[in-house]
Amino acid sequence: MDRLQKVMAEAGVASRRKCEQFIAEGRVKVNGTTITELGYKVDPTRDDIEVDGKKIEKERTVYYLLNKPTGVITSVSDPQKRKTVIDLMKGVKERIYPVGRLDYDTSGLLLLTNDGDFANHIAHPSHELDKVYEATVKGRIAEPALEQLRRGVRLEDGMTAPALAEFIRYQKKNDTSMIHLTIHEGRNRQVRRMCEAVGHHVVQLRRIRLAFLTLEGTVEGTYRLLTPSEVNRLRSM
């Protein structure tokens, strides 16, 4: 059993807040009875739900992997009219939303779905799914700084959990170092702040892996469906 507004939103009627408004206005019926109670629970597999006299059909659940470019907002909409990740999902009919977020100036792997339970499972830090970032930082990063990242660094919102930090290469021409950083948490701009804390400004950042998922098979700005086996594997982790 789920709240009526949640079922309506997952069926693509409107946002959950808008669905709550429809209910309060008396525009929704369940099994022929008008419902105005926001906490009313329904069984979407059995109950007939109508909005303005039109029966709603539950959307199929879908799971996408997007290779997000920089300069795109991880949001369903943006009041400033900037491009969002939803704008990149051409041809997707379901009402999907991003799982977690990538910053405007961060690229790479992002999941989108219309399955709320799945999204909560993936995004919750207690499940400790690996998030691997490829960071290009200013200057030659030395072993003491990498070791500090591995132990955890103190940020304004507290100590970070220990991370895996791997040096990849140094480019003398640009005076930049590339590292791979694996974290489990999801704090705002965490990788950038961690690198700043050890004295290195991030000039480019890309998420290259989430759990066992990689960007293989996609180019920047494109997406693919997750396979049923990938979805099941993620659920079991």
157 part of the active site: no
Q: Do 215 and 67 form a contact (C-beta atoms < 8 A)?
A: yes
Same domain, 30 and 10: yes
Cα 69 to chain centroid distance, Å, stands at 14
Please tell me which residue in 2, 78, 103, 130 is annotated as part of the active site.
Answer: 103
State the average pLDDT over residues 212-216: 97
Same domain, 10 and 73: no
Residues of the chain with pLDDT > 70, as a percent, come to 100
Same domain, 134 and 201: yes
Cα(218)–Cα(101) distance, integer angstroms? 19
Same domain, 15 and 29: yes
Per-residue pLDDT at 177: 98
Q: Do 108 and 208 form a contact (C-beta atoms < 8 A)?
A: yes
Same domain, 147 and 121: no
The residue among 15, 30, 55 that closes a domain is: 55
Which residue, 199, 191, 201, is CA-closest to 134? 191
Per-residue pLDDT at 28: 97
Place of tokens 């293989």: 216
Cα(156)–Cα(33) distance, integer angstroms? 52
CATH number assigned to the domain comprising residue 221: 3.30.70.580
Per-residue pLDDT at 214: 98
Same domain, 197 and 143: yes
CATH number assigned to the domain comprising residue 22: 3.10.290.10
CATH number assigned to the domain comprising residue 162: 3.30.70.1560
Same domain, 192 and 89: no
Q: Which long-range contacts does 1-5 make (Cβ < 8 Å, 24+ apart)?
A: 1/41, 1/42, 1/43, 2/41, 2/42, 2/43, 2/44, 3/38, 3/39, 3/40, 3/41, 3/42, 4/28, 4/30, 4/35, 4/38, 4/40, 4/41, 4/42, 4/49, 5/38
Cα(44)–Cα(212) distance, integer angstroms? 32
Mean pLDDT check: name the lowest of 14-23, 146-155, 174-183. Answer: 14-23
Per-residue pLDDT at 46: 82
Cα end-to-end distance, the chain, whole Å: 25
Here the tokens at position 97 are 């939303």
Comparing 120 with 164, the larger pLDDT belongs to 164
Q: What is the dihedral of CA 51, 79, 6, 231, to 10 degrees?
A: 120
pLDDT digits (tens, 9 = 90+) for 103-157: 999 999 999 998 888 888 888 777 779 999 999 999 999 999 999 999 999 999 9
Tell me the residue range of the domain where 106 lies.
Answer: 63-126+217-236
Same domain, 120 and 67: yes
Same domain, 111 and 134: no
pLDDT digits (tens, 9 = 90+) for 42-65: 987 788 999 999 998 877 889 999
Same domain, 91 and 74: yes
pLDDT digits (tens, 9 = 90+) for 68-99: 999 999 999 889 999 999 999 999 988 899 99
3-state secondary structure 198-227: CCCCEEEEEEEEECCEECCCCCCCCEEECC
The residue among 55, 73, 89 that closes a domain is: 55
Per-residue pLDDT at 99: 93
Considering the entire predicted model, what is its pTM? 0.80
Residues of the chain with pLDDT > 90, as a percent, come to 77
Cα(18)–Cα(14) distance, integer angstroms? 6
Structural domains of the chain, count:
3
